[in-house]
Amino acid sequence: MPKVNINGQEIEAPAGMSLLQACELAGAEIPRFCYHERLEIAGNCRMCLVEWVGAPKPQASCALSVGDLRPNPDGTPANIRTDSPVVKKAREGVMEFLLINHPLDCPICDQGGECDLQDQALGYGAGRSRYEENKRAVEEKHMGPLIKTIMTRCIHCTRCIRFATDVAGVPELGAVGRGEHMEITTYLEKTLDSELSGNVIDLCPVGALTSKPYAFTARPWELTKTESVDVMDALGSNIRIDARGKEVMRVLPRLHEDVNEEWISDKTRYACDGLMKQRLDRPYVRKGGKLQEASWNAAFEAIATGLKGLSGEEIAGVVGDLCDMESMFALKGLLALLGSDRIECRQDGAKLESAVRASYLFNTTIAGIEDADAILLIGTNPRLEAAVLNARIRKTWLAKKLPIANIGPAYDLTYPVEQLGDNAAVVADILAGKNGFADILKKAERPMLILGQGALAHEDGGAVLKAAHDIADQFGFIKEGWNGFNVLHTAASRVGALDLGLTVEGGLEGLLKDAKAVFLLGADEFDAAPLKKSFTVYLGSHGDRGVQEADVVLPGAAYSEKSGTYLNTEGRAQMAPRAIFPPGDAREDWTILRALSDVLGKTLPYDSLPELRAKMNVTVIDEAPREGWGDFGAAGKIAKGGIQIAVTDFYGTNPIARASDTMAACRDAKLADLKEGTGTDG
């Protein structure tokens, strides 16, 4: 590795590393606007100038690699200075140029307090402008309901363009015009058609792109920041919940290389306004066909009355998509004390079983996607089901242009996909070697398949699972250090629920058929009509589909309001602490179940969260498991027929998103764009 001398300190760095990174290694902070670790290098802001002793001019350190540094004439490593008067003067000059046209509107700018330009102007700004000329003004651009633009503030770093083009895979952002007339815009000012569009707000180093729903609502220094985990999909993206008082103001991504890098989906970021809408903030009991407000005691009494005389076999439970491990564990415990083990988590009817853990995990791991050299998608639309994971597939495709094929409805996944047809029977064809893609999979060193909930919920889902298992078995998907069999979940709770064994023979349908009393734990994703005939208790945060037939409603906490453990689609357990308190009389779900168990005379054996967690025994935190292979799935023929993708409406997959006005606005904007048509109608 070449050596380089930075501020008198000699370090070794890989030849391909940028000088900027090498300087950071040596502990020298380099100011920058256009450079970003995860984007292509542009080298256009010039803020990262350093002095290369002997070179005639300061050098842009982001665009110079360590390997390109010629040693000094005497053979000693090149001398780089980041703190010399030359560097300070050069950066001050760059800053002065950047500020020529940047407005002095920090007091009314939402970026204020967390603005790269503001921070760096403190170090390199002159404090006084030498320009008397008018600053240029730029018209706002329309970028949809999520991104607010104040383009006069733009410093043309082009981070947003590079993000949209490379990471999001929607080349719709660009810089039009030139020189002083250059402007950043979407093509013909259409809404940015990406599920990751909100990330450009974090990337924007100034206040040109800011969050529209969050506009003028809070300042960063008045927010309480809680490091948490997202539940909008099954990725478990790491997030930071920023709250003021009892309200979640915004959700931001947190760095996790193995899960979400530093991106989150628009649903993760923007559905948080749904946390304040449609909330259940007090217990309700159905009287005379109508739900009426009640006290906790009255609600518990009503449950005790409703369950009277029922045998354990007649009591059942359904857990929803957003549940934390703790509340599911408590519900399982309560029902067990009542004599029932009939709890179901597969609201969508996916034919998954909990016997072999590898059969329902994303075994390759999310970061492992980057090692794959062929991918087969079966009944999944990763762009809508796990937008950030889809970006990882795109990243892998960009790096090595690997073959990717899809069985299921065709969709623009932001990378080229060989469409094998929307027919579940193609899975059997591949297994039988009758499909051309079978050869590609056989020849691949590290092939992987991603099985979606849509394929598993298919009427022959069990046979599809078996066929996928056999493909993995016979085509070399399972080998030392590699497991290419993956299930992509859509529900944050699903892996945890399967770990707890919350499945029953016959699935949800069978469970509802003969249950006399049903506990719904935030379960809203199925048709509630069969619940009419049974005594139904709904415990959850939102007044959504699940409360429609409920006889007793208990107000629970949303993910931001409870300390919970979530297992993502990889089986990685992550802890999310409470960010705010639940509204009104609502309580953390497990405490409600604990209190109810007391009233029912079947007290759960724990009084605190640590005690519950000790019994739950999830000990390995934030590690993707390597599970042993086994046999699973149901042998059988796969009938010809289309696959229904699990997520069709990205913006409305759960009660929080459905309650969110922002998500509704996104859906409207998308529909409006579809109606307007694309292409040549101008």
Partner 1 sequence: MSMAVKKTSEPFEFTKKNREWANGQIKKYPAGKQASAVMPLLTRAQEQNGGWLSVPAIEHIAELLEMPYIRAYEVASFYTMYNLSSVGTHVIEICTTTPCWLRGSDDIVAAAKDELGIGFGETTADGEITLLEVECAGACVNAPVCAIHHSYFEDLTPDAMRQLIRDLKAGKDLKPGPQIDRHTSAPVGGPTTLQDEGAV
Q: Which is it for the CA torsion 9, 12, 18, 24, positive or negative?
A: negative
Is the Cβ of residue 190 or residue 240 nearer to partner 1 in the bound state?
Answer: 190
Answer whether 446's CB lies under 8 Å from 365's CB: no
Q: Does residue 151 belong to the site contacting partner 1 (CB under 8 A)?
A: no
Is the Cβ of residue 25 or residue 175 nearer to partner 1 in the bound state?
Answer: 175
Q: Which one of residues 70, 128, 178, 290 is an interface residue with partner 1 (CB under 8 A)?
A: 178
Q: Does residue 677 belong to the site contacting partner 1 (CB under 8 A)?
A: no
List the structure tokens of 626: 């390597």
* Cα–Cα distance, 49 to 88 (Å, whole number): 9
* Cα–Cα distance, 561 to 568 (Å, whole number): 19
Strands across the sheet containing 485-488: 418-419, 404-407, 374-378, 447-452, 485-488
**In the complex, minimum distance from the CB of residue 170 to partner 1, in angstroms, rounded to a whole number:** 9
Q: Which one of residues 77, 103, 174, 642 is an interface residue with partner 1 (CB under 8 A)?
A: 174
Q: Per-residue x/- mask for partner 1, residues 187 to 206, rule CB under 8 A? A: xx------------------
- CA 294-298-302 angle, to 5 degrees, is 110
Q: Does residue 290 belong to the site contacting partner 1 (CB under 8 A)?
A: no
* Cα–Cα distance, 377 to 455 (Å, whole number): 10
Answer whether 483's CB lies under 8 Å from 629's CB: yes
Per DSSP, the three-state class of 469 is: helix
Answer whether 491's CB lies under 8 Å from 664's CB: no
Q: Which one of residues 24, 40, 166, 183 is an interface residue with partner 1 (CB under 8 A)?
A: 183
Q: Does residue 137 belong to the site contacting partner 1 (CB under 8 A)?
A: no
**In the complex, minimum distance from the CB of residue 129 to partner 1, in angstroms, rounded to a whole number:** 25
Q: Does residue 181 belong to the site contacting partner 1 (CB under 8 A)?
A: yes
Q: Which one of residues 177, 416, 436, 584 is an interface residue with partner 1 (CB under 8 A)?
A: 177
* Cα–Cα distance, 326 to 341 (Å, whole number): 17
**In the complex, minimum distance from the CB of residue 161 to partner 1, in angstroms, rounded to a whole number:** 9
Q: Which one of residues 171, 436, 605, 641 is an interface residue with partner 1 (CB under 8 A)?
A: 171
**In the complex, minimum distance from the CB of residue 160 to partner 1, in angstroms, rounded to a whole number:** 12
What are the residues facing 404 on neighbouring strands? 375
Phi, psi of 129 (to 5 degrees): -90, 145
Q: Does residue 176 belong to the site contacting partner 1 (CB under 8 A)?
A: yes
Is the Cβ of residue 84 or residue 165 nearer to partner 1 in the bound state?
Answer: 165
| Binding range to partner 1, per CB under 8 A, among 20-28, 174-182, 460-468, 627-635 | 174-182
- Binding residues for partner 1, rule CB under 8 A, total 18
Is the Cβ of residue 175 or residue 218 nearer to partner 1 in the bound state?
Answer: 175
Distances (CA, A) of 104 to 126, 141, 151, 207, 312: 14, 20, 13, 11, 69
Kindly identify the residues of this chain, within the stretch 298-357, that bind partner 1 according to CB under 8 A: none
**In the complex, minimum distance from the CB of residue 193 to partner 1, in angstroms, rounded to a whole number:** 12
Answer whether 369's CB lies under 8 Å from 440's CB: no
Answer whether 155's CB lies under 8 Å from 117's CB: yes
Is the Cβ of residue 134 or residue 680 nearer to partner 1 in the bound state?
Answer: 680
**In the complex, minimum distance from the CB of residue 420 to partner 1, in angstroms, rounded to a whole number:** 23
What are the residues facing 343 on neighbouring strands? 317
Q: Does residue 675 belong to the site contacting partner 1 (CB under 8 A)?
A: no
List the structure tokens of 138: 């730029």
**In the complex, minimum distance from the CB of residue 164 to partner 1, in angstroms, rounded to a whole number:** 9
Which DSSP string corresponds to 85-133? HHHHHHHHHHHHHHHHSS-S-GGG-TTTTS-HHHHHHHHH--SS----S
Q: Does residue 70 belong to the site contacting partner 1 (CB under 8 A)?
A: no
**In the complex, minimum distance from the CB of residue 187 to partner 1, in angstroms, rounded to a whole number:** 4
Name the residues that contact partner 1, by CB under 8 A.
165, 171-178, 181, 183, 186-188, 679-682
